[in-house]
Structure 1
């Protein structure tokens, strides 16, 4: 066999062996899409289609029974003159201001406390995380049990201590504070887990070197540990802000927006518009206005934090 024949046979053998590869790649791709397709259908059916349908409804008026009627941007114009929406936005902003800093600080404090090698540390970490997986209904029942003005545990303790009892959930000035406290009981576990993971990711050699240079515990935290938690703090703050703006379940399970709409948030107001008053068009407009405001705030905060990280 000549050299030319040998090369030709090698070329044919190589091409013949490589021929099934494209078919195999196509088969693997189809198999992968076959596994992913059910989840995509469910996610698309529960998010994409309702989102598009709500956008269409935001330019119409519809009560769920009669044919929809187009109104253009009138629903969005009504947002600026709706006093109930203004009150709901104010309550949501108040809750956000109370909840976000408190959840970040409490989560950081618990993470630092749990970032130690002590006995039963696994049990302590589990106990902190348990409230996060509790349902909103369970949290609402616990809130009523603790802060009911008539038979709540907190007022019973105040009665025993001969201190003035409070209205709590029935007082318009205190109800949102109670909602914030119970939200912290459940949501602070999330920030604790995130901060704890970030703390354990900090090299121990860096901390040990700072201590060998004479830094005390406070100096080690503020000069070594805290600067490395900047990105985590930004993420936690943005995430908790989004959670605060979307507050609904705890309000629904406890106060139903009362007393006198003192705890009515934007999302709860959207639920009232759509499912109590059957104003699906206007409710969709409020929901999309909240979506765009949240999106803009998130983008601005993210860009600001990235620039601050690049230019310390």
Structure 2
């Protein structure tokens, strides 16, 4: 009795006929190729971003340690430009004007944005049209906003004084009054920026769980109780973000001042960034202007870190109490 031999099936590594299969391409090479391809697509945008952010920041830091008018050879002065910031009375006045504008603008834009978002977070007719109309001022350019501000608040032919004249009320100086000009700037900034906070709050309101709101309503809570006890806790992180973002925008105010008052009257609307622009590009003191820019950067950075840390601590305490 002979044993039958079972034919063996050729393995996958060795094709029939004894011919050797060519080696498969190495996976590391494929990964390297895909990575290089990805970097090839990203590189142009990355170069532009670095060229418009990192390089100017480093150059401004070097300029802040020098005295340079843009034409003659720069002279290294070390920290003298930063020491001059402390005793600069004009810079101190610009800081006070910026603080006043921030105190007027930031609370108003947060409250108005929250009010508009709550009003538009309802099922009403033409709600899409209303939301679009609210966002239109945000996309308007600073030049258009400045022209509109001049038309509305001009003391001679402005619309606001014409309305006061019809109502037999005293005329106001508006943009030509040092006591009113910054208030007018804050009002027009509010008109343009409230749309942003409205959109942010509207998105946050739509993320509030509907079943929680419905449960509170079934338990007998009124609209005010539902808002403060259910909705508002969900909006606190968003409020922190909006407040920080709008504070940064307020500190960097320049375009609306440039297109309306040019820092007047009597330098009443001269903000930090406008003073920086005058120092660097009108007086050609690029070193001192760069020192002002870096001083503003460090102050805003420290304030942002403090507010963020305090907000996180408050959120942690609230979780512990629950």
TM range (shorter): over 0.9
Partner in structure 1 of residue 56 of structure 2:
50
Once the two structures are superposed, the pairs formed by residues 215-234 of structure 1 within 5 Å of their partners are 215-234=221-240
Give the SS at the match of 2:206. Answer: helix
Give the SS at the match of 1:282. Answer: helix
- Please tell me whether Structure 1 or Structure 2 has the larger radius of gyration of its CA atoms: 2
Quote the offset at 1:41 in angstroms.
1.4
The CA deviation string for residues 123-182 of structure 1, in whole angstroms up to 9 with x for no partner, is 000000111111000000000010000110000000010000100000001000000000
The CA deviation string for residues 243-289 of structure 1, in whole angstroms up to 9 with x for no partner, is 01100110011101000110000000110001000000000000000
Partner in structure 2 of residue 37 of structure 1:
43
Unaligned runs of 5+ in 1: none
Are residues 1:278 and 2:265 paired?
no
Unaligned runs of 5+ in 2: 1-5
Q: RMSD of the alignment, in Å?
A: 1.9
Partner in structure 2 of residue 193 of structure 1:
199
Inter-partner Cα distance in structure 2 for 1:169 and 1:33: 52
Partner in structure 1 of residue 112 of structure 2:
106
Give the SS at the match of 1:311. Answer: helix
Which residue, out of 118, 129, 145, partners 2:124?
Answer: 118
Partner in structure 2 of residue 160 of structure 1:
166
Inter-partner Cα distance in structure 2 for 1:40 and 1:273: 32
Count of paired positions: 308
Partner in structure 1 of residue 82 of structure 2:
76
The CA deviation string for residues 181-216 of structure 1, in whole angstroms up to 9 with x for no partner, is 000001111110000000000111111110000011
Which residue, out of 31, 46, 66, partners 2:72?
Answer: 66
Quote the offset at 1:16 in angstroms.
4.5
Give the SS at the match of 1:116. Answer: coil
Q: Which has the higher helix share?
A: 1
- TM-score normalised per structure 1: 0.95
Are residues 1:184 and 2:184 paired?
no
Partner in structure 1 of residue 155 of structure 2:
149
Inter-partner Cα distance in structure 2 for 1:9 and 1:93: 79
Which residue, out of 115, 135, 142, partners 1:136?
Answer: 142
Once the two structures are superposed, the pairs formed by residues 196-215 of structure 1 within 5 Å of their partners are 196-215=202-221
Query: After TM superposition, which residue ranges in structure 1, 4 or more long, deviate above 4 angstroms?
Result: 5-10
Change (3 A) 1:9 1:301: farther
